[in-house]
Structure 1
């Protein structure tokens, strides 16, 4: 089945400032398209580094976007975190503030050998949440309101392994289980009470596996090292079922609508959603610290491209690009993102100054990214940018027995970004986001000589 998506005349009146975030974690009308708004494939540490993950190596932090990095994990590591976001949404004629947030992700990694590591975790792949109104006039039915509502999203659980294949080369692979549901409802309400309101409810359920892989090449350059990284996710047809039902009803101000006649119903039609191919290439320079699994400083850059023209919200039958029949993709262009990042621990970056204060031992981070999302509305490309600053605060370490290691890092950061534009009756979103996470490191599976 082919589903057709028309560009909305986004002369929107937003209804319910807190409508969908409790269920979905998103309050963006742009989550109407595709699978919703795709979320960062990162925990707090890398999220504050703008997603420059293809070339990132660390012995302390889980990097699910680059499975080759698991080979460098030195301690059993638990990463978890969340976000809280305030969003200003505006057209040329109206605006409002929305908020959303909560716990977002959790992951674990641990070394199997000095040259091999394993990771597992769970996080949202995409989020959908919107509630908006358009108005119009029809020659036969008179004035009407059309309401669009959506909630849900897809989650991603991964398990992956990374290993050092050669002295300076590491490779890795993730198996990702994608699951979740997406509910979308359209209500057509006529001002003239002689016409009953019409509702269309659509629900997509998805669950299946996909994979991604990566490689990193480390290049020692005296006291500095460079890492060249590449990650690749193959496009995946995720098994799904689709249901929709349309019916007339009598609308009530109390919210207790009265259903009348069912016009059409489709139940559990088998098909797929299609997650597009994605590739990222990154380069990072850093200064390693002897006998420590962290760098004194690092700077990184990454270029990522996503084949958004492949994206399918739901499809049954042969994939459209494998047939000769014409079709219109949801996204008119492929997405491209450029990210830059820098981080520093003052006490390690400037050892000659003998900095010993607590703040000198914290890790400071900053990043910026710019993206062409691939979405084109009203002949207008939708673009986004995001700036981040953050700090990693050490929570102390302690040794219970000789050789035992236990320590943690609290990640706190602020992000400022924009999505979309007010041009051509579209919506511009300007948002601030607090990012908080914690990383726990422990020395597991170690045989102690003395107890």
Structure 2
């Protein structure tokens, strides 16, 4: 009963949390917003690599890793984002705290399964372009919402070296935007409000292979692929006249349309070497094709979309995971580096994201559960070409709780 209550309460909390603004980036204006999920905290702390198989942690990027679960795993993770937004002549600070994922992983012999909830993308921006010289229009833009996904994944251990897996995702959410424009010497302005309700299904498939190089060294590899899919977008548009206190003066007719947004295919490959109980070092490359994610309210002539490319290196080190006398030797240290071309091109300038990551895994005494902390420090965008640079610091936190569930007691 307690377990059911905990899971139900966390799922309720996740729905509430994911409904809030998960970003404050002006670049979330484009497409379906800023991509939010980059793996569990353990993966993010290693630059985003997901090449290792683990019996006590859920791999949410490659479903093949689920086959190695030996314990029922309940994982919940969140983050606090602190960013400074800079242009050539101004700067501002923003803060956001969000719940990033919640999942339950279950071992099933040669199979492993997991289900849960996580964000796919997030929209959250407020942009003002106020002209005081009386010769140009003043504009302001505001957007919020995003897309979440509920997933169910399965992994299967073909043999001791090779796993395969598949994950089904139901994507859903709503994005709302307001744009206001006032012309010089005209009393009233124009307000355009848009709401897009999105839904769709897509799949991930993956495989993982490892083999012994020698007695102490193992080669690890990972490959996962997401085929192209569609998001159905039901759009509502309202245009009205407002005065300078934002009160409505007149409403035009409401219009409704339906469009299909294309989620592009994605493939990721990683490889590394190490001793799974002590250390690992690896690299991963992820490439996503060009999508068609522009809706009527966020199409701009100065914007293009290219391939999204992410390059990650990282690893972990645990001095002695089996130590019974030293707590410090059972602590896991993680680190990594990432470089990402987001695929967004504005004013002929590619928007890139570069960051370093650090993390630490603290075991909970007398259990296989652990408490994880992570830091991401990086830069997204640039101040050149009249754009905005984001200098960000993400503080990440997660709990990974492991226990033997669904075991019939021998004594009553």
TM-score by length of 1: 0.82
For the pair 1:280 / 2:262, whether they are aligned, the reply is no
Matches within 5 A, 1:220-235: 220-222=212-214, 223-235=216-228
Q: Is the 8 A contact 2:143 2:175 kept in 1?
A: yes
- Which residue does 2:388 correspond to in 1? 427
Count of matched residue positions in the alignment of Structure 1 and Structure 2: 391
Greater Rg, structure 1 or structure 2? 1
Give the deviation of 1:165 after TM superposition.
Answer: 2.2
- Which residue does 2:345 correspond to in 1? 376
Give the deviation of 1:263 after TM superposition.
Answer: 3.8
- Which residue does 1:296 correspond to in 2? 278
For the pair 1:31 / 2:28, whether they are aligned, the reply is yes
Distance 1:157 1:214 in 2: 18
- SS in structure 2 of the partner of residue 360 of structure 1: helix
The CA deviation string for residues 260-317 of structure 1, in whole angstroms up to 9 with x for no partner, is 23345312x22222211111001122214xxxxxx2111121000011x2232348xx
Q: 1:94 aligns with which of 84, 90, 93?
A: 90
Q: 1:347 aligns with which of 308, 312, 320?
A: 320
Give the deviation of 1:413 after TM superposition.
Answer: 1.5
Distance 1:195 1:22 in 2: 36
Q: 1:64 aligns with which of 56, 60, 63?
A: 60
Give the deviation of 1:248 after TM superposition.
Answer: 1.0
1:101–1:197 distance in 2 versus 1, CA, 3 Å: same
Matches within 5 A, 1:40-439: 40-53=37-50, 55-113=51-109, 115-135=110-130, 142-192=135-185, 194-222=186-214, 223-252=216-245, 257-267=246-256, 269-288=257-276, 295-307=277-289, 309-314=290-295, 331-348=304-321, 356-397=325-366, 406-439=367-400
Distance 2:249 2:24 in 1: 31
TM-score by length of 2: 0.89
Q: Is the 8 A contact 1:35 1:126 kept in 2?
A: yes
Give the deviation of 1:389 after TM superposition.
Answer: 0.7
Give the deviation of 1:329 after TM superposition.
Answer: 11
- Structure 1 gap ranges (5+): 1-20, 289-294, 316-326, 398-405
Q: Is the 8 A contact 1:87 1:429 kept in 2?
A: yes
Q: Is the 8 A contact 1:390 1:412 kept in 2?
A: yes
Distance 1:212 1:330 in 2: 29
The CA deviation string for residues 417-442 of structure 1, in whole angstroms up to 9 with x for no partner, is 11000111110000111101100000
